[in-house]
Amino acid sequence: MKVSPDWGWQRVLLAGMRDALSLPAWIVCLSLVGVGSLARDVGYPVGAAVLSTVLVWAGPSQVIFFASIAAGAAWSAIAFAIAFASLRFLPMTVALLPLVRRPGQGVLMQIVIAHFIAVTTWTEGLRRLPALAPQQRASYFLGFGGACVLTSCFGTFAGYYLVGALPVPLAAGLLCLTPIFFLSSLSAGVRHVSDAVAIILGFCLAPIFERAIGGGFDLIISGVLGGSLAFAWRQLSRRRKA
C-alpha cells in the first residue's frame, strides 16, 4: 500500500497493518501452528502457548522452550539455549534500527521496535521502509509487526486445538513457509548485483558447510562468508569504477 508523506501516524500504522495482512503476517501465522500443538503435547495451557508468542515471538526459540520442558531440562539451561538461539536477531536489529530511528526517539520506543524484529519483519522492513519518510517509518513498522504478532497468536491458538488433526507432512510443511518467504523477500529486495551474488553464494556454500561442519553452524558460516565475499566484490567494483 502506497503511503503518502502527509499521512498522520495513525494512518501510517494502519497502512503497515494492511501490508502485513496482505500475505506476510499469514505466513508467520501458519509457521507457528506447530508451536501451539507442541505446547499442548507438553501439557501447558493454551494461554501459556499464546503468551510465549507474545513475549518471545520466535518459532525456533519457542520450540526449544517447550521441547526442553518436555525433556526435563533445568530452567537455567533453557534460558541459555533460548538466548543463544536468539543471537541471530542481533545483526538484524543493528541493520534495521537505523532505518526507524529518528531524533528525539526514546530508548523505550527503540526497545519496543526491536521486539517486533523477526525474519519476516526484518526482510520486509529493509525492503519497504526506505521508500517512506523517516518520521513515518516507526509507525509503519509497529503496525506491520503488530499485525504479524496478532496473527501469530491466532496461529498458535489454532495449532493448540488442531494437534492430531493435521497430517504430519502438512504440519512439517508449514514450518518451511517462513524460510521460503524469507528467500522470496530477499530476492525481491535485491538492489545491487552484489545482493544477488550474496544469495547465490549462500546457496552454493550452505550444502558444502553442512557436509563439512554441520551442527547448526553451517548456515552461520556460509552466510557470513558468502556475505563478506559479496561485500568485498562490491567494494572492488566501486574502486574500479572510481
Question: What are the domain boundaries of the chain?
Answer: 9-189, 192-242
Report yes or no: 178 and 27 within 8 Å, Cβ to Cβ. Answer: yes
Residue-wise pLDDT tens digits, 161-189: 886 666 666 666 666 666 665 666 666 66
* Separation CA 173–CA 195 (nearest Å): 28
* Separation CA 89–CA 145 (nearest Å): 15
Report yes or no: 57 and 152 within 8 Å, Cβ to Cβ. Answer: yes
Q: Is the pLDDT of residue 159 over 80?
A: yes
Q: Is the pLDDT of residue 94 over 70?
A: yes
* Separation CA 234–CA 187 (nearest Å): 18
Please, which pLDDT band fits residue 16 given cuts at 50, 70 and 90?
A: very high
Confidence (pLDDT) at 165:
67
CA quadruple 10, 136, 104, 144: dihedral positive or negative? positive
Burial environment of residue 149 by CB neighbours within 10 A (0 to 12, 13 to 18, 19 or more): buried
Cell triple for residue 74? 533445568
Confidence (pLDDT) at 61:
82
Query: Rounded to the nearest 5°, which phi and psi values hold at 224?
Result: -65, -45
Instruction: Please tell me which residue, 92 or 213, carries the higher pLDDT value.
Output: 92
Instruction: Please tell me which residue, 30 or 242, carries the higher pLDDT value.
Output: 30
Q: DSSP code of 105?
A: -
Confidence (pLDDT) at 164:
63
